[in-house]
Chain A
Amino acid sequence: MNLKVCAVSKRYDSKVLEGISFEVDRGVVGLLGENGAGKTTLMEIIATLTKPDEGTIEYDGRSSAENLYPIRRQIGYLPQKFDFFAKISVEEALDYICQLKGIFSRSERQSEIEQRLQQVGLGDQRKKRFGALSGGMKQRVGIAQAMIGDPSLLLVDEPTVGLDPHERTAFRQLLGQLAADRVILLSTHIVEDIAMTSERLLVLHEGRLNYYGDLSTFIRSVEGKVWLYRGASIPASLSQGSRLMISSQSLIEGVEVRYLAETPLEGSIAIEPTLEHAYIYANRKKAAYE
């Protein structure tokens, strides 16, 4: 699917999104931003749950205003903190979602449910009541329901919250497999999830688009700006000017500090930047401009 977002703005009590534009036709796009940056609102607008105040969204050249339900059929949506009726079993829940998505033939439903349960590793939990599942399992049911009907646009909002490290790795692998022939928009504040799954990145900061492009270009933008300092104590000059401390660690002989700066402290060495460094740098730079 070709997804084209043009100058989308949304306001509730205050401005939540302002002039967001981007276009994608395949692969995983990581949507990164701090809490309250507008990630969920953008996801809800793309999912057609909320109308934008300004701007348009095209799905394969079609607008949701004229083709709302055909477009919704092509969207798989995992909302934040997925939940369902406590007394309904996993299998019954997925069967209901199948029918909501227009899959009515019993044999098609059975094969769809089987496939999705295997993909999320819940084959042996199918008879369990939703309310009796662990947080991670509930999230996996959410992922399964989003994938029902093989949607060409998959929107996943904070999908790895509540998953243990093993489940998180499995989910990242699953996203990689699914991304081959569809667009996946992955919203998260966990930088590692995006670093391991996405080819492209969209960074939001206070409702504005801070970066949209490929991951490697974004990371390269902070080359020569990430530094490691080792000394007896954290120097007072580190908190002055445009320097920003990322992490510090106490050592036997002093401290080790990683920081972002255009000009390093004396004795610092440049280190390889990561996505997290680039993300912190990008959002700090934007804040400094305002």
Chain B
Amino acid sequence: MSEWTLQFSFSFRNLLKQRGVLGVTLLLTTLLISMLMLANRLDQFADTWFGLLHSQMILLVLLTPILFNAVWSGRVKPFEFKTILYRLRRPETYFLSHILSVWLVLGGSVVVFDSAFWLLYAQGTDPILWAGAMLQIGLTVGFVTALTAFFSLLLRRTIYSLLPMLMYLFVSLSFIPNPMYALWFSPDLIEQAAAEPKWIAARAILLVWILLLLIISAVWFRRRVIRR
């Protein structure tokens, strides 16, 4: 078994053990939000769909640092250093596994829930809306998680990353209409542009930022824990 597989399976298991914070996050971002949207009885399904996506993304930007904090506090605890990282040839796998497991669990849960929601209520709506939303969820949750991890190293406390994330979200909603740089968008913009192939392609640039953030975080984490 490779270090990657071992670390990822352990991080995944550790994340699933955080039942309280994980349960609240998933409940808020899926069931409660969807019930709220359905209760509003909007005329068009597309409006309900965009309302759901918009609320989910804003909530996820705020809840991801809280969930990430449950598995990684921002500092290497002595036992992590002396019992776990001590045995790893590539200690950065430990940190990256936390990021990937949060990304997978949060993104995956919302994707599965929203797909079920689509199947139940879409009734002939253009499937491009579904595909665009799935891409948005996957990329945005990944970007938010990678950014949270980066700020946790920078600020040495994961929970402190909530503040820069809030600021970035506010600036994005108000001033950054560009899909390549914004954390999330104003509701009007999302409705106009979310299904445009050009806009979706530009949003895919987030993958590059995610990759860059992961590489920088991995190198930074390694430098921090390597024996001196």
Contact = CB atoms under 8 A, between A and B. Distances in A.
A92 B13 contact: yes
Q: Which of under 10, 10 to 19, 20 to 34, or 35 or more describes the interface residues of A? A: 20 to 34
Contacts of B18: 87
Nearest to A145: B83
A51 B228 CA distance: 6
B54 to A, nearest CB: 33
Q: Which of under 10, 10 to 19, 20 to 34, or 35 or more describes the interface residues of B? A: 20 to 34
A83 B86 contact: no
Contacts of B14: 85, 87-88
Interface string A71-115: 010000101011111011000100011011100100000000000
A131 B217 CA distance: 29
Nearest to B19: A87
A22 interface: no
B1 interface: yes
Given A51-B228, A69-B89, A145-B83, A96 B78 contact: no
A121 B17 CA distance: 26
B86 A77 contact: yes
Contact of B227 (A48, A92, A97, A145): A48
A79 B78 contact: yes
Chain A CB count within 10 A is highest, among B84, B89, B227, for B227
B198 interface: no
B13 A49 contact: no
Nearest to B84: A100
Contacts of A85: 14, 17
A51 B81 CA distance: 15
Interface in B71-111: 77-79, 81-84, 86-89
Contacts of A104: 1
B118 interface: no
B227 A84 contact: no
A50 interface: yes
B135 interface: no
B45 to A, nearest CB: 40
Contacts of B227: 48-51
Interface in B1-56: 1, 6, 10, 13-14, 17-18
Contact of A81 (B17, B78, B86, B228): B78
Contacts of B6: 96, 99-100
A48 B86 CA distance: 9
B78 A83 contact: yes
Given A69-B89, A79-B83, 20 more contacts: A47-B86, A48-B227, A49-B81, A49-B82, A49-B227, A51-B227, A51-B228, A72-B87, A79-B79, A84-B79, A84-B83, A85-B14, A85-B17, A87-B14, A87-B18, A97-B83, A100-B6, A100-B87, A101-B87, A145-B83
5 contacts: A49-B82, A82-B79, A84-B79, A92-B13, A100-B84
Interface of A: 47-51, 69, 72, 77, 79, 81-85, 87-88, 92, 96-97, 99-101, 104, 145
Interface of B: 1, 6, 10, 13-14, 17-18, 77-79, 81-84, 86-89, 227-228
